[in-house]
Structure formats: C-alpha cells, structure tokens
Structure 1
C-alpha cells in the first residue's frame, strides 16, 4: 500500500517514527513498528525498507542507528519550491486531489508555514478566499509585528472569515483585533473540527495534543481580559511538547462544501 508520501506504509511508518525519536537501530525500529504500527511486520521486511530508504537518501545510517536525512527533510519542508511547482504545473488544469502530512516541531513553525502559504497563493492566483474552523478565535499576536504588517498588506486581495466554536470573553476581545484588520468573525458555529483551514481549494487539517487543547481552553476560560496570560501563549507556541501535525490536501469540491458552514 502506498501512502501520500509516495512510499509504502511500512516506509511511511518508519519515517514517522524517526521524526519523533532518533537515532534508532534496526532492532529498535522493528520493535516499535511491531508494538505501535503493525503486529504482522517481519524483521526482514523492516530491514528491506530501511535499506531502500537509505539508498534513496531519505534516511542516514550512523554508528548509533538510523535517522532522517537532513537534506531530505529540508526539501520536504521547503514550502516555496513545492507550492510553486504545483501551482505552475501543466497538470494544474485537471482536478488535483493530493494529500501530504507535515510535522512541525512546534506551533510557531506551523504559523510561519501558513503565512508563507497565504502569500504564495495570492502571488500565483491573485486572490485568496480563506475560512478558519477554530475552537477559539486565534490570538493574532502569535505573529510577529512584521508578519502582522505583511498580513495587513495582503488584505485587499484576501477574503477571510473565522468561525469560532466557542464564544468567550477573550474570544470577543480578540475578534475586535481581527475585525480591525478586515477579518469577519462568527461565534458559536457548529463545526466538527477544532482547527481546519480552507485556502481557495486547499484544505489544512491541523492537529495538536490533548494537553495543548486543554491549555487553550483554560486560558480562554477567564472572565477578565487582564487574566488572559499572553506570555504563556507565546511560550506554548514555541514549546516542542505541543507539536503540530498537519494534513494538507487540495479538493475544490470539498473546499466549497466546507465553506457552507456558518453561512
């Protein structure tokens, strides 16, 4: 079976495993796969997958064990080149339905990726229709002052709506800041996802830990704005404990359907 990374599910599982802890010996990788991924995996199949991943320069083998090849990781994470190639592809005329999983070490990395993605789409498609399905209205100052300035410069070509599942005092306060930038906010919307983003025909499903969700809920539950701990928010988005995983896909029909929520 092939995964969205274009490799077998065994190889995909090895890549995911080594993105979380490294280096690992072949024996330890086999043990982790058997325990957490597939009880039917054999050591021979594991060894073969490791050999092929190493030959294709996805993995490196050291004295301590296997780890992801830094060059491959860099290429995978190089947003600008990957997006430009897809948008400029001659196959762009047909409907593209692709999946890709990206793991960010912390939420700050994801925010930067998303900001760059916005700019690249506007650059290529001249406009951006963006809808957020969020548990809470996001805190705008997770962006740097420079990023906020760049975002404001995009607004003439950007239609942006944030649908918030929760309606809180903090959310209302933050909504005013977004509305001053030209963003439309709706509260108490019955949405199924805590963090889903639609950017033209692209869909981001963004996942984080239960612990991170509980942190945000607690911080947003305060009754007075002065009790909202902005310093803790800043620390949280940089904390590797709150790793962010994103599935990105492109599907025009599904994106159109998801836009109907809150309308």
Structure 2
C-alpha cells in the first residue's frame, strides 16, 4: 500500500504516516496532538487511534511499549517500489531525474545497451565535447540501423576515446569498426580496473553485468577459441548473449567533484598511452 504523502486531500492514515516520518517514536496521544496542531484535525482521539490501529495491523507501524513508529520493513518496501518506478519511467523516457547518484536495473545486456545508446545524445548524462570509455574487453554488438545512425552521430559530435585491456582478434575487429566511425581506440592498455567506466556528458557511468561462474567460463572459452574471426558466426553468438536474461546494473554518478577526478584520470591515461605509442612508432 502506497500512501499519498503531501497530498492536499490526505486521509487520517496518510497524515499519521507523514507525522511519524518526521517525529518518532510517539504515543497515540502525542500523535493526536500533532495531528491537531499541523492539520487542524477536527476528528476525535478515537478516530486517530483507529487509524493508528489499522496501520499497525497492516504492518505499516510497529509498537514498542506505548510508542509507535514506522515499520523499517514497510519503509524498505516503499523504497523498492519507488526505485522500481524510477527505473521504469527513466528507461521509458518519461522522466529525466537530476539526482546525483542513480542506479538502474535491467534484465539483459541488450536492454542496458539500448538505454545507453538512446540516451547518449539526449542530454540525459549532461553535455560535453569529450567522452572516455574504459572496458576490459570489446565485443561485437549487433546494432540496428537506427542505433548505428545514433552512434555515428554521437561519435561525429563528441571526441570519443576508448581504452581496452585485451588485445585479441575480437578487440581488433571492433577497434577497426569504432575507428571507422570516428572513435580513437587504444587496445592492450592497463585500464578498466576493477571495472568498466564511461565518462559521458557530466556523468561517470558504470555497467555491472552480474555473471555467474558458468557465464564467466563460457565467455572465456568463447574469447579464447576465436583464433580466426571469419570462421565463427560471432555476431549470432554475441547477439544471443546480449538477449539472455541476466541482471545488469547501471550506476550513474553526477557528483561534480567525482566526475572531475575520474576525468583527470582518463586524461592522464591518454597522455601515457600517447607517449608510449610515440616511442614505439
């Protein structure tokens, strides 16, 4: 049950929840007095007590001695409900939250990737002329024609640098493709430790795929077995992996100080890589 806190036409139970959200614990008598003072409550003490009793039976409140407070379990349920709504409405493009820290949960890599592509040029992550991506490995992502167009447009407008830790056949294939679109790609670089990161707009974005041990073993086998990328239908294999159901969590950090710090780290890494490449050329 969700209570409409802050509404101009609240029920007595909603007003009780709102009061206990600010002051706790309270006896039924003290709660009644606060209801009268804040809302000009005209009902009887018995009506207020009846509302408290109903909330207690609904597990919204807990009672210790004569004192009442909101149930921690109910609060957690409400947080989960609102987080789920925030996820769904953000992913559907209905809202553009300005929170400093945000977590979005997806049910597949494909869904998470679609979200990032769709939001890349929308201002959702903020705006900037530079973008940095650090990943442990690259893999061929099947793209629709519209996604290809969005990515190409983003790379034309935004100077994008990609760092990748691995330097295998797949990384070389994807590197060539991204370079063709306009990205600057560096493979075989000590980066993405401990996890991937994306500097886009004014946000630091991380995507965490919650693989099982079986998934890790399967991916390692797949990467290590591809010696000749032309002999394997890699797009079909990776398309299947992206659509499989597995939990993916995207975290978005919009705190300016953290963004500036991570940006400096990426700029420092780019200078190091550029000097190394100049010496080896």
Counterpart position of 1:171: 171
Counterpart position of 1:249: 253
Query: Are the counterparts in 1 of residues 162 and 185 from structure 2 also a CA contact under 8 Å?
Result: yes
- Per the alignment, in what secondary structure is the counterpart of residue 162 of structure 1? strand
Bigger shift: 182-191 or 250-259? 250-259
Counterpart position of 1:30: none
Shift of 1:148: 0.6
Please tell me whether residue 114 in structure 1 is matched to residue 122 in structure 2. Answer: no
Q: What TM-score comes out, normalization by structure 2 length?
A: 0.60
Query: Are the counterparts in 1 of residues 197 and 205 from structure 2 also a CA contact under 8 Å?
Result: yes
1:198-226 CA-partner distances (Å, limit 9, x unpaired): 11331112212254444433322211112
Paired with 1:80 and 1:119, the residues of 2 have a C-alpha distance of: 16
Query: Are the counterparts in 1 of residues 125 and 203 from structure 2 also a CA contact under 8 Å?
Result: no
Aligned pairs (5 A) from 1:229-240: 229-240=234-245
Please tell me whether residue 227 in structure 1 is matched to residue 212 in structure 2. Answer: no
Paired with 2:237 and 2:89, the residues of 1 have a C-alpha distance of: 32
Counterpart position of 2:265: 258
Paired with 2:86 and 2:201, the residues of 1 have a C-alpha distance of: 28
1:35-86 CA-partner distances (Å, limit 9, x unpaired): xxxxxxx9x9xx91343466x5954xxxxxxxx8975552354456225xx3
What value does the CA root-mean-square deviation take over the aligned residues?
Answer: 3.4
Paired with 2:112 and 2:158, the residues of 1 have a C-alpha distance of: 20
Q: What TM-score comes out, normalization by structure 1 length?
A: 0.64
Residues 228 and 218 of structure 1: CA distance in aligned 2, closer, same or farther (over 3 Å): farther
Please tell me whether residue 218 in structure 1 is matched to residue 232 in structure 2. Answer: no
Paired with 1:100 and 1:218, the residues of 2 have a C-alpha distance of: 34
Query: Are the counterparts in 1 of residues 130 and 159 from structure 2 also a CA contact under 8 Å?
Result: yes
Aligned pairs (5 A) from 1:139-154: 139-141=140-142, 143-154=143-154
Counterpart position of 1:4: none
1:90-127 CA-partner distances (Å, limit 9, x unpaired): xxxxxx8x2222111111111111112211129963x4
Paired with 1:223 and 1:144, the residues of 2 have a C-alpha distance of: 27
Residues 130 and 218 of structure 1: CA distance in aligned 2, closer, same or farther (over 3 Å): farther
* Aligned residue pairs, count: 198
Please tell me whether Structure 1 or Structure 2 has the larger radius of gyration of its CA atoms: 2
Aligned pairs (5 A) from 1:192-211: 192-208=193-209, 209-211=211-213
Paired with 1:207 and 1:57, the residues of 2 have a C-alpha distance of: 21
Please tell me whether residue 182 in structure 1 is matched to residue 187 in structure 2. Answer: no
